[in-house]
């Protein structure tokens, strides 16, 4: 625990207070700016998803109390996984020391401190989180977003224009008009592998507020063949002003064939029916490995009635292991969870996904609790997909399409 915060707690318990001069030693320049740079500036900077920027004291100071409340409630940075289950390389949660530092700083009046104590600003490539892409492809047409109303999901299918097969080592979606794009997903439609029915194809990369670009580990890449098409899915949320959007995706290409081929699988259930006024309807789905694979990340997906989601691995010997539990699913944060270490799953291992949906009036996001709800693309319908990324050997020693279903 941060020593200042600890002292505050001890003295408060004894009916005393910490001298103001001691608390004031925590400043934005020396202690708080490094935390914001590590944890917040990725999104809270010009041109990114967050509605305010935190790149200078002038930017942060008006939001100091709001930052404290968001930190103490763990509303920010967004992270929905149960902290007692699994370890994740992209865990965004603040440490207790970081939380205590921010709290003590705000309690002391949010002093700026000496500008000479400021850390170097983090390096960000303007407009891209993956660095300069080798290929940029837009959705092929402008879309006029109205000022109001509900816009059904929009789909745009485009040719890649590639002259040869390529290996993608990093990919990033870039919404053109972030103020009206709730999320976007880009799928690969490869005629040599077939589309994944009802999901648009092989998932390449997605974007939603708080979700980082796709950067594969060294030696790992996703195959994009000549002749494959990209299918863009856009969820628009009108904000009171009309807008013209032409979102795009960028790739960074591997310079040589990788050691491992990255694939995206899913445990999916199309057949569920959520009864009216049901507060906790359970839906299950499973996927079984047809070969040895290395599991790298997980991304649960439901719509506004989604309540919770859990991934469990069932090994061939019957042993079970819970990999991820999201007890408070939130459609507004389409987060993925990268395992701290890839998990090897032997052929025959099963991934079981269990989700619950709240179709009751107690769910404030529920558009109509009186309706039975079935599978569908639109937000007033529902989905149950346990997406996950994994790797296999590349196609030179791998049957075409293996592991993609």
CATH 2.60.120 for domain 125-258, yes or no, is yes
Q: Which one has a higher pLDDT value, 115 or 323?
A: 323
Nearest to 85 by CA among 356, 340, 315, 264: 340
- Best mean pLDDT range from 1-5, 44-48, 345-349: 345-349
Can you tell me the distance from the alpha carbon of 237 to that of 179, in angstroms, rounded to the nearest whole number?
Answer: 8
Burial class (CB in 10 A: 0-12, 13-18, 19+), 124: middle
pLDDT tens digits along 59-86: 989 999 999 999 898 888 888 999 999 9
Across the beta sheet with 202-207, what order do the strands follow?
A: 154-159, 229-236, 181-189, 202-207
pLDDT tens digits along 339-387: 999 999 999 999 999 999 999 999 999 999 999 999 988 888 999 999 9
pTM: 0.78
Handedness of CA 121, 123, 126, 129 (dihedral sign): negative
Question: What residue spans define the domains of the chain?
Answer: 3-117, 125-258, 260-405
Place of tokens 């890839």: 342
pLDDT tens digits along 286-339: 999 999 999 999 999 999 999 999 999 999 999 999 999 999 999 888 788 999
> In the structure, what pLDDT confidence band is assigned to residue 165 with cuts at 50, 70 and 90?
very high
Can you tell me the distance from the alpha carbon of 402 to that of 37, in angstroms, rounded to the nearest whole number?
Answer: 42
pLDDT of 199 strictly over 80 = no
- Best mean pLDDT range from 64-73, 186-195, 394-403: 64-73
pLDDT of 156 strictly over 90 = yes
pLDDT of 180 strictly over 50 = yes
> In the structure, what pLDDT confidence band is assigned to residue 183 with cuts at 50, 70 and 90?
confident
> In the structure, what pLDDT confidence band is assigned to residue 17 with cuts at 50, 70 and 90?
very low
Mean of pLDDT over the chain? 86
Can you tell me the distance from the alpha carbon of 283 to that of 9, in angstroms, rounded to the nearest whole number?
Answer: 45
For residue 262, CA distances in Å to 130, 335, 352 come to 17, 19, 21
Res 335: pLDDT? 87
Summarize the confidence of residues 196-206 as an average pLDDT.
64
Beta strands 220-224; 260-268: pairing state: parallel
Distance between terminal CA atoms of the chain?
47
Which CATH fold would you assign to the domain 260-405? Jelly Rolls (2.60.120)
């Amino acid at each position: 625990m941060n020593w200042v915060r600890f002292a505050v707690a001890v003295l408060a318990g004894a009916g005393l207070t910490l001298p103001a001069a001691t608390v004031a030693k925590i400043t934005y320049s020396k202690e708080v700016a490094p935390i914001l740079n590590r944890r917040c500036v990725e999104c809270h900077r010009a041109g990114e998803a967050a509605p305010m920027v935190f790149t200078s004291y002038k930017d942060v100071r008006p939001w100091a109390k709001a930052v404290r409340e968001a930190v103490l409630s763990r509303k920010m940075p967004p992270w929905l996984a149960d902290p007692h289950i699994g370890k994740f390389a992209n865990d965004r949660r603040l440490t207790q020391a970081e939380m205590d530092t921010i709290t003590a700083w705000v309690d002391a009046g949010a002093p700026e401190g000496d500008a000479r104590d400021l850390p170097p600003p983090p390096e960000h490539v303007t407009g891209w989180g993956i660095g300069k892409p080798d290929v940029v492809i837009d959705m092929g047409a402008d879309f006029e977003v109205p000022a109001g109303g509900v816009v059904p999901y929009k789909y745009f299918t485009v040719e890649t224009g590639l002259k040869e097969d390529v290996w993608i080592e990093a990919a990033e979606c870039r919404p053109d008009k972030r103020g009206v794009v709730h999320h976007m997903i880009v799928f690969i439609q490869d005629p040599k592998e077939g589309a994944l029915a009802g999901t648009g194809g092989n998932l390449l990369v997605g974007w939603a507020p708080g979700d980082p670009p796709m950067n594969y580990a060294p030696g790992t890449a996703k195959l994009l063949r000549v002749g494959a098409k990209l299918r863009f899915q856009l969820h628009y949320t009108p904000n009171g002003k009309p807008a013209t959007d032409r979102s795009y995706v960028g790739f960074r290409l591997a310079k040589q064939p990788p050691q491992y081929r990255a694939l995206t699988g899913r445990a999916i259930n199309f057949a569920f029916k959520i009864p009216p006024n049901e507060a906790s309807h359970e839906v299950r789905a499973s996927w079984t490995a047809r070969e040895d694979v290395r599991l790298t990340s997980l991304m649960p997906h439901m719509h506004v009635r989604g309540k919770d989601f859990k991934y469990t691995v069932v090994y061939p010997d019957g042993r079970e292991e819970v990999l991820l539990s999201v007890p408070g699913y939130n459609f507004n944060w389409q987060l993925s969870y990268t395992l701290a270490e890839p998990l090897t799953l032997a052929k025959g291992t099963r991934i079981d996904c269990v989700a619950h949906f709240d179709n009751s009036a107690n769910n404030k996001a529920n558009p109509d609790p009186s309706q039975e709800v079935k599978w569908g693309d639109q937000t007033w319908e529902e989905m149950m997909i346990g997406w996950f990324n994994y790797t296999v050997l590349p196609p030179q020693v791998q049957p075409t399409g293996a592991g993609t279903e």
